[in-house]
Amino acid sequence: MPVVTLQVLGTLSDEQKRELSRRFTEDLREVAGKPPEYTYVIIHEVERTNWAHKGVLFSDK
Amino acid sequence: MPVVTLQVLGTLSDEQKRELSRRFTEDLREVAGKPPEYTYVIIHEVERTNWAHKGVLFSDK
Amino acid sequence: MPVVTLQVLGTLSDEQKRELSRRFTEDLREVAGKPPEYTYVIIHEVERTNWAHKGVLFSDK
Amino acid sequence: MPVVTLQVLGTLSDEQKRELSRRFTEDLREVAGKPPEYTYVIIHEVERTNWAHKGVLFSDK
Amino acid sequence: MPVVTLQVLGTLSDEQKRELSRRFTEDLREVAGKPPEYTYVIIHEVERTNWAHKGVLFSDK
Amino acid sequence: MPVVTLQVLGTLSDEQKRELSRRFTEDLREVAGKPPEYTYVIIHEVERTNWAHKGVLFSDK
């Protein structure tokens, strides 16, 4: 019954989203026996003005 | 002091958001005695390219 | 395909959780046509030392 | 190893985001000894149609 | 700069957590070129009384 | 109308939580004009077995 939430800086291509979702879901099946029909993967693409590291926005780096 | 976060695939109309917020807030008052002035409802509409089920993006279904 | 996350101060009884989950799921069906088999409700009970309002922890109020 | 997620109604200017990120990161260093290189700050700007208080969307207030 | 949050019903063993974290991080490196030193994986194990599907708590199923 | 969610590895003392909540709330007032009566700070203390960096659980480091 897993929900995987991926927060990522910037954008991903549809192909990257497709492949990551497939792998995360498969990882959960293989490692923890979670059936794919219960697994959700939700992706949040975060703009560089909305994410900071070391106190500095990525848009300022 | 509740915060309800609703993640939903695709979009909702303003009327749906209005009614869901009203009901969730009322549910919390009736069932758990939570005063509406403390309840926040936050809605995240997630694009079909950003949500997968069974390892497949909804945009691919 | 909704995921409802409820963050609540303190604890809820099992009966309150049961009833809130039932109502939230039903609200989504009635208002937005979301089939119950796709709806998850996840509850986080947050201790009073871990939630602040107006800059003051609830455990200090 | 902190992740600070700020959900805010409406938008912030880049200057506000810059200063809030700087301060949150510094607060964590001063108060809890968390090294800035481990601190992420992620900002979610939520539209007024997607946030309700007292059961009413802010866009309706 | 990814943060992966895994919400899972019930508990995982340390070995399952270890392997899932390793794989998620590796998936992000292989598929999207995300360097492992920027990837956090955070796991939330949710009790069966705190997760509902189809409007019914798992503890009631 | 901000909600600040702090995810932190391990535990914080009550005094650290108290001071961080006070500062985050004050930062939001000073930098963005957010009134303290609308600001929630929610703290999640995450165990070392539930957080990984570079694909390795902190409990294994």
Give me the pLDDT at residue C1, please. 79
Model confidence at F13: pLDDT above 90: yes
Q: What would the mean pLDDT of C48-55 be, rounded to a whole number?
A: 98
Contacting residues of B for F40, CB less than 8 Å apart: 1, 3, 40
Helix (H, G, I), strand (E, B) or coil at B33: coil
HSE-up of residue C52 (Cα within 13 Å, Cβ side): 26
Mean pLDDT confidence for B20-33: 98
C54 Cα to chain E: minimum distance (Å): 27
Give me chain B's average pLDDT, please: 97
Which residue ranges in chain A fall short of pLDDT 70?
none
Write the single-letter amino acid at C54: K
Here the CATH number for the domain that contains residue F45 is: 3.30.429.10
Q: Which domain holds residue F50?
A: 3-60
Which residues of chain B make contact with A18, given a CB cutoff of 8 A?
Answer: 56-57, 60
Nearest CA to D49 out of C28, B3, B11, B17 is that of B17
**Chains F and A touch each other (3 or more Cβ pairs < 8 A):** no
What is the DSSP-derived secondary structure letter of residue A55? Answer: T
Best residue in D50, D51, D61 for a mutation probing chain B (most B CBs within 10 Å) = D50
| Residue B1 confidence (pLDDT) | 78
pLDDT of D1 over the 90 cut: no
The percentage of chain F sitting over the pLDDT mark of 70, rounded to a whole number, equals 100
Chains E and B lie in contact, requiring 3 or more CB pairs less than 8 Å apart: no
Select from D17, D25, D39 the Cβ nearest to the Cβ of A50: D17
Tell me the mean pLDDT in the region B23-29: 98
Parallel, antiparallel or unpaired: strands C56-57 and C51-53: antiparallel
Which chain D residues are Cβ-neighbours of E1 within 8 angstroms?
40
pLDDT at res. C3: 98
Q: Is the CB of F5 inside 8 Å of chain E's CB atoms?
A: no
Q: Is F9 on the interface with D (CB under 8 A)?
A: yes
Q: Is F34 on the interface with C (CB under 8 A)?
A: no
Nearest to E40 among F49, F53, F59 (CB): F53
Across C12-17, average pLDDT? 98
D51-53 and D56-57 as β-strands: parallel, antiparallel, unpaired?
Answer: antiparallel
Please count the residue pairs, one from chain C and one from chain E, whose beta carbons lie less than 8 angstroms apart.
44
Interface test with F, best of C8, C47, C57 (most F CBs within 10 A): C57
When pLDDT is cut at 50, 70 and 90, the band that residue E36 belongs to is very high
Read off the pLDDT of each residue in F37-48 and give the average, rounded to a whole number.
98
Instruction: Answer yes or no: is pLDDT of F1 > 90.
Output: no
| β-bridge partners, B41 | B4, D52
Ramachandran quadrant class, A55 (left: phi over 0; alpha: psi -120 to 50; beta: rest): left
B51–C24: do the CB atoms touch at under 8 Å? Answer: no
Counting every residue, how long is chain F?
Answer: 61
Contacts of A32 (CB under 8 A, 6+ apart): A2, E8, E12, E16, E20
How many domains are contained in chain C? 1
> pLDDT tens-digit profile of C18-43?
999 999 999 999 999 999 999 999 99
Buried b / exposed e along D23-61 (16+ C-beta atoms within 10 A): bbbebbbebbebebebbbbbbbebeebbbbbebebbeee
**Does any CB of chain D come closer than 8 Å to the CB of residue A7?**
yes
Mean pLDDT of the residues in chain A: 97
